[in-house]
Amino acid sequence: MVIKERPAGILCDISGVLKDGTEDGSDVAIARSVDAFKRILASGIPIVLCTNESTCSTESMAERLRAIGYPIETVRIISPVSVMKQIINDEGYRPYFLVHKDVREEFGEFHEAPNAVVVGDAEDGFTYKALDDTFRLLVQGDKKFFCLGKS
């Protein structure tokens, strides 16, 4: 395919476009995608990567991509976690988090008086106590509720 006009920018998915996972859980670059990515960067066309992955931090995703050859800066990745962080900061929410342990640090501190609840792929974190605490906050009726990923 030949593109006749230079695009203003490129939005590219990560999983299945730049990388695939293997049976042992490691990542492998899609054939010729690293070279294509490098050519896009060299062209000066802005590129942003997106993912619906909510069980790893944005930095962790960038590190995984770097490990298979992509010269990627973390700020070029949009994920449910990075979008939720922006919403929290913009709106001044003080959330209670029930999220995957690998993304918990990215969100920052816990709050004594939460005004929102963020739930996302907590896996082993979905304990009776955690779910009960979440439910008790939500039934108060004055909390915003946000979900990430497959929650």
Query: Which pTM was predicted?
Result: 0.82
Assign 1 a pLDDT band (cuts: 50, 70, 90).
low
Largest Cα–Cα distance of the chain, in whole Å? 58
Helix (H, G, I), strand (E, B) or coil at 49: strand
6/23 Cα distance (integer angstroms): 38
Query: Is residue 123 left, alpha or beta, with left meaning phi > 0 and alpha meaning psi from -120 to 50?
Result: left
Q: What is the pLDDT of residue 123?
A: 87
Instruction: Report the percent of the chain where pLDDT is more than 90.
Output: 68
Q: Is residue 121 predicted with pLDDT exceeding 90?
A: no
Q: What is the pairing mode between strands 77-78 and 47-50?
A: parallel
